[in-house]
Amino acid sequence: MKELRAAPNLLTLLRLCAVPFLVLAILDHHYPTAFVLFVLAGVSDGLDGLLARLLEQRTVLGQYLDPVADKLLLSTLFLVLNHEGLISRRVTVLVFGRDLGIVMVAAILYASVGMRNFRPSIFGKANTLAQILALVTVLLSMFYAPPFILWLRHGSLEATVAFTVISGFHYAWQIAKRLSPAESTAS
């Protein structure tokens, strides 16, 4: 319970609690509200990491909860925005499929060989940045759409597709590389 009460973990839980309200705002076409909620969720994500370092409240719960909250937020938004016809099926399937694949492989590797350390790669970080920029610009363009925002929306969605594929293959290569020495010593 002590870990649950740590300020960074409370912020992460608050971010998780915001997801249904964000979904409702989008489904009800309240895009300015959805935009503000998404920006606040992003600020809380940065703030929880900063607080964990400053207050020395890094916890095991936080190490698992924070990335789960991020994936849930981003994946849910891609699904809902696709449902509303604001993001293509191609982008949504790639993003959701990659994230689901990574979570499943991580769970299998943890259960079968005890592998826990799944640090994000530079391509994974670039993918997350592209996804966030894509979601921000999609939401923003629903109530403020000068040509620059529309261009940024298109570019960030294309970057999301590219980095989703690249990072997915990169994670697969990293896992294969990490498993190969273990397999050769087990033989």
The pLDDT value recorded for residue 60 is 72
DSSP labels, 78-96:
HHHHHHTTSS-HHHHHHHH
- Point out the least confidently predicted range of 151-155, 165-169, 176-180: 176-180
- Residue 131 contacts residue 160 (beta carbons within 8 Å): yes
The pLDDT value recorded for residue 108 is 85
pLDDT greater at residue 44 or residue 158 = 158
* Nearest in space to 95 (alpha carbons), one of 122, 130, 64, 121: 130
What average pLDDT does range 174-187 have in this prediction? Answer: 67
Helix (H) / strand (E) containing 68: helix 60-83
Mean pLDDT across the chain: 88
Q: What is the pLDDT of residues 63-108, one digit of tens each?
A: 778 888 998 999 999 999 999 999 999 999 999 999 888 888 878 8
> What DSSP state is assigned to residue 120?
P
Distances (CA, A) of 157 to 45, 131, 178: 22, 7, 31
Q: What is the dihedral of CA 74, 79, 84, 88, to 10 degrees?
A: 90
Q: What is the pLDDT of residues 120-129, one digit of tens each?
A: 789 999 999 9
State how far the Cα of 9 lies from the Cα of 41, in Å rounded to an integer: 13
Distances (CA, A) of 121 to 1, 57, 118, 174: 31, 24, 9, 9
State how far the Cα of 114 lies from the Cα of 22, in Å rounded to an integer: 36
- Residue 118 contacts residue 124 (beta carbons within 8 Å): no
Angle, CA of 15, 100 and 171, to the nearest 5°: 105
Reduced to 3 DSSP states, what percent helix, strand and coil does the chain have, rounded to the nearest 5? 80, 0, 20
State how far the Cα of 187 lies from the Cα of 176, in Å rounded to an integer: 16
Q: The pTM is what? A: 0.88
pLDDT greater at residue 60 or residue 37 = 37
The pLDDT value recorded for residue 187 is 46
The pLDDT value recorded for residue 8 is 80
